[in-house]
Structure 1
């Protein structure tokens, strides 16, 4: 039985599990712009110790040697956060034998909104992350270029859909906001004095796709109504789609449901009862909960910590199955 277990662990569909998780912060060249900040979590056999990551603490081996070969890669795209926004999911993936790499989307992070509506920048930045991981990362020879997945939340879900072949039509935003002026998106555009017709001037050719992405897990994707059947027709990757039943930031049925219904290949759809939009983010520490209650507070009776244990386990299992 021990020999069988070893053989199964060496098969491409079963990532080898190391003793712990290594972590590295890198800067990725970004053309004429400043480098992109990214975090990389990976299997290691080195001992781990607690390290600060923003306002959180993660137990990792900083800049440790990489364990394993033919490792599958999952790239992560945040919402309005930063590369550490989904660190718990990245840790779970690395413990399971994946390499997880997350980029801070310059111009669309919690502390830099200078390019927030230039949504086409995000898939291009995710593409640069994949390029870096396969070509320049110090562990690139240990990666399996045929097993690449992507995880995205909110604007990150939109990003991953585009990277996997989706083409949104942002001209749909103006008529959408005429009908739904009270939605968060439309209200934010109005308060920022942004013309809701801005999307009419975005050419379809601006969107960067990455055929190397074979599977994706997306949660509460933004701008779901902007794709349509034609816009998602070229998405061939396997998809797991998560939806928060009580999402008041992106109300039903305009975001998750259009994506679910218009994908050419049926998604593994998961509806989380009593969850809000931001429950897909890790539980907040005391300081962040005090500063940002709008993203930290969950509905009465919803245990975000317990949910994330289940959520991360399901994300890992899904990528294991989709990237065999």
Structure 2
């Protein structure tokens, strides 16, 4: 019995606790000043039975508009990459909800798959994420069951940039034009040029335009865009613990200007993961056959890279990080 007790303790140290519940889901509209409401998705633990439901191009097993189960629950808000939407990281949201978190993701108006009207107005994104946190903690029907002292944020690509700002980072967008002048063939710069975006649009953005959210206590960042725009000074006020993910074969945002620029300039060393043979879009969930035909550029991985297997481990590590940092 004593040996079994020791084994149980050791297993408890290395394995994430399992929350015995299904996952509920609902889509909400959040007031956004004079603009149309923001659209967000919320995943949460529930005791109601789950069933297959369509979410964009995928099917997720959830209980639609079911009651929230639990009290003093931690919250993780999520920020998608450029031209994405709130469902871009549904597998990570489901993993968090299965582990007892409430996960909420917002579609960033002006930088979604169907609206690129404000693609380089990056200061809009942290404000929208702030509105999401406000809504969840103050207005959402389950807000009384959330713990406002246990809020984390997850972001990929432009979303990684977004949560860095939310956690206190201060970028300098005036660096983008000269950077792309020096690196015109980089994929990010080519994409901005192809879209006809004025690279000087944020050169005079005042520091007050960047909305920080001190309620965010921990952040997970995957392949952050515009990492070079922060520098050591711009990241000096990021005090939250950071889990940082890098795709070793990221040809969309090549090294060392993005992930490494963040890693090397954070005041506290992040928990850093470099994923061998992974490309930029491997941080998105595996695609089904239909999406793979429609969007091969975001669905195809390098030969030998198993995106599904990677996401099993990736999601487990994300959950474990938030469990450790949002105690």
TM range (shorter): over 0.9
Give the match for residue 156 of structure 1. Answer: 159
Give the match for residue 263 of structure 2. Answer: 260
Give the match for residue 50 of structure 1. Answer: 52
Give the match for residue 142 of structure 2. Answer: 139
Superposed displacement of residue 225, structure 1: 0.2
Where 1:260 maps in the other structure, the secondary structure is: helix
Where 2:273 maps in the other structure, the secondary structure is: strand
Where 1:197 maps in the other structure, the secondary structure is: coil
Where 1:65 maps in the other structure, the secondary structure is: coil
Q: How does 1:84-95 map to 2 (within 5 A)?
A: 84-95=87-98
What TM-score does the superposition give when structure 1 sets the normalisation length? 0.94
Give the match for residue 253 of structure 2. Answer: 250
Give the match for residue 116 of structure 2. Answer: 113
Does residue 174 of the first structure (1) align with residue 177 of the second (2)? yes
Paired with 2:136 and 2:120, the residues of 1 have a C-alpha distance of 27
Unaligned runs of 5+ in 2: none
Give the match for residue 313 of structure 1. Answer: 316
Paired with 1:185 and 1:147, the residues of 2 have a C-alpha distance of 34
Paired with 1:47 and 1:24, the residues of 2 have a C-alpha distance of 15
**Cα deviation digits, residues 56-78 of structure 1 (max 9, x gap):** 01000111111110000000000
Where 1:85 maps in the other structure, the secondary structure is: helix
Superposed displacement of residue 187, structure 1: 1.3
Conserved 8 A contact 2:121-2:201: no
Paired with 1:159 and 1:233, the residues of 2 have a C-alpha distance of 16
Q: How does 1:190-201 map to 2 (within 5 A)?
A: 190-201=193-204
Unaligned runs of 5+ in 1: none
Superposed displacement of residue 200, structure 1: 1.6
**Cα deviation digits, residues 111-157 of structure 1 (max 9, x gap):** 11011111111000000000000000000000000000000000000
Superposed displacement of residue 15, structure 1: 7.8
**Cα deviation digits, residues 82-125 of structure 1 (max 9, x gap):** 00000000000000000000000011001110111111110000
Give the match for residue 303 of structure 2. Answer: 300
Paired with 2:172 and 2:251, the residues of 1 have a C-alpha distance of 23
What TM-score does the superposition give when structure 2 sets the normalisation length? 0.94
Give the match for residue 223 of structure 2. Answer: 220
Conserved 8 A contact 2:120-2:197: no
Superposed displacement of residue 184, structure 1: 1.6
Number of matched residues? 315
Conserved 8 A contact 2:121-2:202: no
